[in-house]
């Protein structure tokens, strides 16, 4: 566990902030549901037996219970075909009771992910992965904001960390995090650079960053020599590495080398307990919004 004493940086504690948000959402859901006698409902679909994905889905379902959102967990075998998953999505799209649909990614290799995402009713697409929701976000008129990027912005806002005018360096260009978080930071008036596997002088570009979002999925990639004094560091990575000293047999590593970077920066998110809980809080907000928009 990381403590503030080990570092000069202030820890951006996603657990504390997400607990606060969940309390707020719970109060709103309770008031809203009491007036209408309907409760929001999330369908969470897990395909296959990836341990990490199972943990994420379990945490999402648990958060639903905490805020008064009903949940419906569907588990499908690793051998599921695209057609079989499409058939479940059609059922969930048509169900009057389901407000939000979440298909945990990644999907097993035989399933065509793009076809699956396109099949989700955009109004139930609480992950905001559907092309029409991606387009609305890019235009600055989001229906839903994707959960991890939304959680990152909220973590910054709730810790009074300004975005406008900052040099923001996003490392990674995934559909789930890199691209949408860059778009949101731009909409909040940051000057945004997106770095990726073909970027030349990546270290030099990171060194210009007042804010670095590390979202490339390579453990401890961002090291102290890539970070400017006083920068704000958001670590989205979470990789399981074998570690025989742990009861679980693995350790969770972020994309940032915490020990060397934290003495240099002003704020940093820990892994675990930083961005992950914020993603879940944002999912709760999106699911409640989907329900309110429908009713």
User: Candidates 18-26, 100-108, 207-215, 265-273 — which segment interacts with ligand GUN by CB under 6 A?
Assistant: 100-108
Structure tokens at 166: 């900052």
Judge contact between 263 and 7, C-beta under 8 A: yes
Q: How many angstroms separate the CA atoms of 205 and 28, rounded?
A: 42
Looking at beta carbons only, is 33 or 121 nearer to ligand GUN? 121
Q: How far is the CB of 36 from ligand GUN (least distance, A)?
A: 27
Given a contact cutoff of 8 angstroms between Cβ atoms, the answer to whether 263 and 8 are in contact is yes
- The Cα–Cα gap between 145 and 147 comes to 6
Stretch that binds ligand GUN, among 86-94, 99-107, 199-207, 255-263 (CB under 6 A): 99-107
> Counting runs of H as helices and runs of E as strands, what totals does the chain give?
10, 11
* Binding track over 105-134 against ligand GUN, x by CB under 6 A: x---------------------x-------
In the chain, % helix, strand, coil (3-state, to 5) comes to 45, 15, 40
Q: Which of 67, 102, 155, 281 binds ligand GUN (CB under 6 A)?
A: 102
Q: Closer to ligand GUN at the Cβ: 59 or 260?
A: 59
Q: Smallest distance, Å, CB 167 to ligand GUN? A: 26
Question: Do 68 and 26 form a contact (C-beta atoms < 8 A)?
Answer: yes
* Of the residues 12, 111, 169, 176, which one makes contact with ligand GUN according to CB under 6 A: 176
How would you class 167 by CB atoms within 10 Å of its CB: exposed for 0-12, middle for 13-18, buried for 19 or more? middle
* Residue that is written with structure tokens 């047999």 in the block: 249
Q: Toward ligand GUN, which CB reaches closer, 116 or 227?
A: 116
- Active-site positions read 60, 104, 127
DSSP per position, 109-126: TTS-HHHHHHHS-GGG-T
Among 279, 280, 288, 290, binds ligand GUN (CB under 6 A): 279
How do beta strands 70-76 and 167-171 pair? unpaired
> Are the C-beta atoms of residues 158 and 17 closer than 8 Å to each other?
yes
Beta carbon nearer to ligand GUN, 69 or 206: 69
Could you check whether the bond before residue 272 is cis, i.e. omega within 30 degrees of 0? yes
Options 80-88, 97-105, 165-173, 229-237: segment touching ligand GUN (CB under 6 A):
97-105
How near is the Cβ of 107 to ligand GUN at its closest, in Å?
A: 9
Q: How many residues bind ligand GUN (CB under 6 A)?
A: 9
Comparing CB distances to ligand GUN, the nearer of 167 and 175 is 175
- Pick out residues in 146-165 that bind ligand GUN (CB under 6 A): 147-148
Candidate residues 103, 155, 163, 184; the one interacting with ligand GUN per rule CB under 6 A: 103
The Cα 88–Cα 56 span in angstroms is 20
Name the residues that contact ligand GUN, by CB under 6 A. Answer: 102-105, 127, 147-148, 176, 279
């Amino acid at each position: 566990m990381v403590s503030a004493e080990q570092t000069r940086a202030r820890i951006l504690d996603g657990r504390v902030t997400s607990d606060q948000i969940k309390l707020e959402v719970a109060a709103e859901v309770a008031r809203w549901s009491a007036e209408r006698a309907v409760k929001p409902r999330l369908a969470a679909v897990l395909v296959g037996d990836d341990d990490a994905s199972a943990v994420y889905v379990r945490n999402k379902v648990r958060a639903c219970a905490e805020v008064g959102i009903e949940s419906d967990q569907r588990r499908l075998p690793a051998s599921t075909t695209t057609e079989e998953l499409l058939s479940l999505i059609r059922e969930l799209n048509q169900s009057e009771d389901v407000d939000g649909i979440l298909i945990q990614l990644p999907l097993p290799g035989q399933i065509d992910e793009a076809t699956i995402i396109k099949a989700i009713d955009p109004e139930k697409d609480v992950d905001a992965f559907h092309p029409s929701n991606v387009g609305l976000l890019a235009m600055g008129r989001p229906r839903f904001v994707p959960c991890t990027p939304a959680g990152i912005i909220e973590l910054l806002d709730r810790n009074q960390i300004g975005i406008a005018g900052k040099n923001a360096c996003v490392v990674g260009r995934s559909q789930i995090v890199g691209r949408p978080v860059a778009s949101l930071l731009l909409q909040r008036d940051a000057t945004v650079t997106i770095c990726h596997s073909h970027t030349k002088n990546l270290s030099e570009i990171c060194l210009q960053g007042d804010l670095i979002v590390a979202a490339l999925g390579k453990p401890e990639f961002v090291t102290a020599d890539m970070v400017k004094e006083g920068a704000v560091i958001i670590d989205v990575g979470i990789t399981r590495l074998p570690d025989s000293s742990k009861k679980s047999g693995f350790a969770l590593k972020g994309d940032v080398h915490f020990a060397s970077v934290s003495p240099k920066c002003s704020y940093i998110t820990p892994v675990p307990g930083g961005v992950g809980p914020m993603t879940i809080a944002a999912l709760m907000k999106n699911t409640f919004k989907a329900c309110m928009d429908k009713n």
